[in-house]
């Protein structure tokens, strides 16, 4: 059983998958850093300096200045600003991933063009038949 486990772990697919998971985690950290530290400040700037994270509705009907104050009051709070931030993050991460994949695809060599299709069996038989008639 130990030998089977060793054979399984040492197959190329498992090692390739492990490398892919580690690289995806590292790339995820880079993209998260880009979104949080570079892209979101631009979004906040162009939104008039608004911080979406504080947008909320307190279910107790009172008006609180910040989401933290509303949550400290202990009532139910709908934090729709955090959801807006999540949607913006999704769009930015999607855009960054699209650009990365697009750049990666440009580095790949184009596939060899396919050879033109040869004559079909019917065409070959017709040609033989025609040559025998002559």
CATH for 102: 1.10.1200.120
Distance CA 40, CA 94 (A): 14
Q: Examine residue 50 and state whether it is found in any structural domain, yes or no.
A: yes
- Quote the pLDDT of residue 134: 66
Q: Examine residue 6 and state whether it is found in any structural domain, yes or no.
A: yes
- Quote the pLDDT of residue 16: 80
- Quote the pLDDT of residue 12: 67
**Overall number of domains in the chain:** 1
Nearest partner of 83 among 61, 63, 103, 67, judged by Cα: 67
- Residues 55-92 as b or e (16 or more Cβ within 10 Å = b): bbebeeeeebeebeebeeeeeebebebeebbeebbeeb
Distance CA 39, CA 91 (A): 11
Q: Examine residue 15 and state whether it is found in any structural domain, yes or no.
A: yes
Distance CA 11, CA 5 (A): 10
Q: What is the mean pLDDT of each run of 10 residues along the chain (134 residues)?
A: 80 78 87 83 80 82 84 86 85 85 86 81 85 78
- Quote the pLDDT of residue 104: 86
The boundaries of the domain holding residue 39 are 2-108
């Amino acid at each position: 059983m130990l030998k089977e486990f060793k054979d399984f772990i040492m197959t190329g697919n498992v090692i390739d998958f492990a490398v892919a998971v580690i690289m995806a985690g590292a790339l995820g950290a880079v993209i998260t850093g880009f979104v949080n530290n570079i892209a979101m400040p631009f979004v906040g700037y162009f939104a008039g300096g608004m911080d979406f994270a504080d947008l909320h509705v307190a279910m107790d009907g009172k008006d609180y200045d910040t989401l933290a104050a509303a949550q400290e009051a202990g009532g139910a709070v709908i934090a729709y600003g955090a959801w807006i931030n999540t949607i913006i993050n999704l769009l930015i991460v999607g855009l960054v991933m699209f650009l990365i994949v697009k750049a990666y695809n440009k580095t790949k060599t184009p596939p060899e063009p396919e050879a033109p299709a040869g004559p079909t069996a019917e065409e070959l038989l017709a040609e033989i038949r025609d040559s025998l008639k002559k």
